[in-house]
Structure 1
Amino acid sequence: MSRRYWIGVACREHVARGVAGGFAQLCHGKAAPLARMAAGDGLVYYSPQDALGSPRRCQAFTAIGSVGAGAPYRVSMDAHFRPWRRDVAFVAAQAAPIRPLLTQLAFITDPARWGYPLRFGQLQISAADFYLIAAAMQAALPATLPPAPAYPLFDESPAP
């Protein structure tokens, strides 16, 4: 299977917890978004706000890394909340505001409504978009992720 690239959406505070713990948690702890990803896939987090429910906007890409081996697993945060997580090897990177990239990202088809594709909490993106975001974040990507292809296709193979 070819490598895929994803954006996960979460507030900056929750992303920081995931980076510190080496895990991703998407869509309020649902298993399905994590199951869509495979070991070696690229993941970048977009944070619309600093903290859940906070009026303070972040609107930046806040973490980047590659999905680890192993299946999603469940953790107990309290008696009523048992979210699903998946291991991720995050790399050193700087937060990068999304607005300067709006006209360059292929998944944004209408810059006036740029937030629309991000509303579901997870989005598959092209390799070209992933590496554009990585460059904006000054990310030190590991050797396990290949260099950016010259063409922006999801399956990373040339068109017939």
Structure 2
Amino acid sequence: MAIRYWLLVHPLDRARELVETGVARVTWGNEQPVWSFREADGVIIYSPREYNPDGEPLRAAVAAGRVTGEAYQLGGHGTPRWVAPVDWLPGARIAPIRPLRDMLELTRDTRFWGEQLRDGWVELSQRDFMILEDAVRPTAPEPSGFAIDASRDGASRPEHPRTAPVSDTRARAEQAWRDWDANR
């Protein structure tokens, strides 16, 4: 079966709760949409507000993940909720939709794109999923000073522009450990 992609609508506080518990659900805990989720399907959470009903407007993608198993029902008081297990991208950042609007098929060529989100979920194209997943992906860490020095030293050697001699690299690494140990 083909992989499908979904956008779920939740306020930021509820989105964080879902990410922490490792599940995805549709607003009001509806069963039908969650049963459409299959293993490896992509899921994006869009947050129109920080919290319901009167939170500050956010209008951003806040999480991305992949479904890892079958949907199941959570018990409890009131209406049962249906959820699917999801492996969420760790450290996702908040990605406002406005800069992405012209790139996304979901939002392009319509001023009233939010109308289609009233049910709390919508199927996305693979392209839209990839754009949104990339937007929430955390940035790469800055290289350490040691890595910058090592690459600079290695690049300045005309005989071996890509690698430093093993003994030189080992000496710098040992010195870096000693420096780090001394500053603890």
| Fold match (TM-score > 0.5) | yes
Change (3 A) 1:49 1:72: same
Structure with greater helix share of residues: 2
Query: 2:34, 2:71 → 1: CA distance?
Result: 8
Q: Which runs of 5+ in 2 are unaligned?
A: 140-184
| Alignment check: 8 A CA contact 2:71 2:82 kept | no
Residue identity in the other structure for 1:49: R
Query: What RMSD in Å do the two structures reach over aligned CA positions?
Result: 1.6
Q: Percent of aligned pairs with the same residue?
A: 29
Letter in 1 for 2:8: G
Are residue 134 (structure 1) and residue 101 (structure 2) matched?
no
Q: Distance in 2 between matches of 1:137 and 1:131?
A: 10
Higher CA-based Rg: 2
What residue is the counterpart of 1:28 in the other structure? 28
**What residue number does 2:80 align with?**
82
Give the partner amino acid of 1:90.
W
User: Using a 3 Å threshold, how does the CA distance of structure 1 residues 139 and 40 change in structure 2: closer, same or farther?
Assistant: farther
1:69 is paired with a residue whose SS is: coil
Q: Secondary structure of the residue that 1:65 maps to in structure 2?
A: strand
Equivalent-residue separation in structure 2 for 1:71 and 1:20 (angstroms): 17
How many angstroms does 1:137 deviate by?
1.3
> Does the CA contact (< 8 Å) of 1:102 and 1:114 recur in 2?
no
* Paired amino acid for 1:15: A
Number of residue equivalences:
138
Partner of 1:157: none
Compare relative contact order (CA 8 Å, sep 6+) and give the higher one, 1 or 2.
Answer: 1
Counterparts in 2 of 1:1-160, with a 5 A limit? 1-76=1-76, 79-92=77-90, 93-138=92-137
**Partner residue, 2:169:** none
Amino acid at match of 1:9: V
Q: Secondary structure at the match of 2:80?
A: coil
What is the Cα deviation at residue 139 of structure 1? 5.3
3-state SS, counterpart of residue 115 of structure 1: helix
**Take 1:88 and 1:134, find their aligned partners in 2: how far apart are those partners?**
14
- In structure 2, the CA distance between the partners of 1:75 and 1:95, relative to structure 1 (3 Å rule), is farther
- Distance in 2 (alpha carbons) for counterparts of 1:75 and 1:54: 28
1:109 Cα deviation from its structure 2 partner:
4.0
Distance apart, 1:11 and its partner CA? 0.7
Which structure 1 residue ranges, 4+ long, deviate > 6 Å from structure 2?
Answer: none
